[in-house]
Structure 1
Amino acid sequence: MDLFGNTNNWPKDLEPILTKYKNRKHPLDYHNLYQLLVMVVLSAQDSDANINTIAPELFKVFPNMESLAVSNTEALFPYIAKVRNFNTKASWLIEIAQTIKKDESIPLTMEGLTALKGIGRKSANVILKEARIPAEGIIADLHVIRVAPRIGLITETKDGNKVEKQLMTVLPKAIWGEIGMAISFLGREICRPKPNCDICPINTICEYYKSI
C-alpha cells in the first residue's frame, strides 16, 4: 500500500519510463570517469548545459587527475569562472585531486565517493550509475524531487536525501540503478514545472494527473 492508501505495484507501474530511458547516458557530456567526477562536482546548483560548455577547454588544460593534483585554484579559475560558486568548487577539485592523485584511484563506492569534498549522495549515485556499479541508492536530483511526489511515490520535500530515503523504502533494490535517472529524464522532458501530462507514459498511475 502506498502513501495515498492505494495498492501499487511500482516496478510494473514505472516500467514505461524504465523502458523509455533505460541505459540513456547522463546529460553531462563526459568521456571518462575523471571527467564525469569533475563535471558532477561543477554541476552542483548549476546546469548540465553550462558545464558541458566549459568542459572542453578545461579538460584540454587538465586532462587527468594528475594534472589537477599538481595545480592550484587560481590556475583553475579562468576555465570555470562561468560556473556558479566556482571559487569553492575549485578548492574542492584541487583537494579531491590531491587526495586521489590518479584517475585509476577514483573510488567506486558510496562511502568512498561521499568522503570526497563536494560529493554528496546524489553526485555519488550519478557516478556509480554511469560507471555501471550496482546501485547503493537512488539518484534524487531537482527533477526527481519535483516529479516523485507528483506521481504519488513519496510525500513532498525539498530535501534530496529525504527524497532518496523515501524512494529506497517504496521501491525494490532491483530498479534503484535505473529509476532515479528515468524519473529525472521524465522531469526534464515531460513532467516540467508546467507538465505536459497528455504525452506522459505513466499518466494513468499518476496522482497529479488523476487530480486534474
Structure 2
Amino acid sequence: MTLFHDWQEEIKPLLKKYKGKKHPLDYKNLYQVVIMVILSAQDSDANINKIAPLLFENFPNMESLAVSNVESLMQYITKVRNYVTKANWIIEIARTLKTDDNIPKSMEQLLVLKGIGRKSANVIIREAGINAQGILVDLHVIRVAPRIGLASESNDGNKIEKQLMQIFTQDIWGEIGMAISFLGREICRPTNPKCGDCPVSAVCFYYNSKAK
C-alpha cells in the first residue's frame, strides 16, 4: 500500500464524480434492496435486475414472503447462482422479520441474518440513507483500491475495508466504497483501464508507476 500525504483530500474528485449515485441494483424500496443484495452474491447485478420485476410482482413485500415457502420462491430465481440456498435464506429472513418495517438498519443486526455479510449490510445501510457503519467493499473495490494505492493486495474484503476505514473519516464511508466500485466498473477496468478519464490518476500508484 502506498500512502500519500492526505488521501482524504486527494480522493475528493472521485467523490464529486460519483457522490449519491444509486447502486446498480434496480430496486424500488428497502425490502427490494435486501432481497436483491442476497441474490446478487456471486452473481451479476444485471442478472438480478432481469429477474427482479416478476419476482417482486409475486412477492411485493416481506409479508408475502413470510407466508410463502422455499418451493414457491425458487421458481422465480432459478437463473440465479446458488438459488436453492438463497431461497432458504430469504424465506428464513422473511419469517424472522415478518414485515418490511422490521428490516434492521444497523450493521450488528443485519449480520445476524442469513446470507448478509458486511458487503451486503453496507449496501443496505447506504441505500437506506443511514449513517455508514462501514465501507462497501465489493469485487471492484478489492481490485481497484490496491491498484490506486489505498490498500494492500488482498482477496479479503474485510481486510481491505479495515484499511479504508483507517484512511478515511466516517463522514465519507457511505460514499467512498461505492465511488471506488463505480470507478472500477466504468473506468479502472481490469485490462486497458481508461486512465485518461480517471479523476484520481494524478495520485494513482498504478498510473504513476506505469508513467515512469
**Normalized against structure 2, the TM-score is what?**
0.97
Quote the offset at 1:178 in angstroms: 0.5
Q: Which residue number corresponds to residue 149 of structure 2? A: 152
Residue identity over aligned pairs, in percent, reads 66
> Which of 186, 198, 201 is the equivalent residue of 1:200?
198
> Which of 6, 17, 20 is the equivalent residue of 1:23?
20
Which structure 2 segments of 5+ residues have no match? none
Quote the offset at 1:78 in angstroms: 1.2
Q: Which residue number corresponds to residue 110 of structure 2? A: 113
> Which of 4, 11, 14 is the equivalent residue of 1:14?
11
**Normalized against structure 1, the TM-score is what?**
0.97
Which structure 1 segments of 5+ residues have no match? none
Question: Which 4+ stretches in 1 moved above 2 angstroms?
Answer: none
Quote the offset at 1:85 in angstroms: 0.3
Q: Which residue number corresponds to residue 103 of structure 1? A: 100
**Aligned: 1:185 with 2:189:** no
Of stretches 24-33 and 169-178 in structure 1, the one that deviates more from structure 2 is 169-178
Q: Which residue number corresponds to residue 210 of structure 1? A: 208
Give distance in 1, aligned partners of 2:58 and 2:29: 16
Instruction: Please give the root-mean-square deviation of Cα atoms over the aligned residues, in Å.
Output: 0.8
Q: Which residue number corresponds to residue 50 of structure 1? A: 47
Quote the offset at 1:7 in angstroms: 3.8
Give distance in 1, aligned partners of 2:54 and 2:184: 30
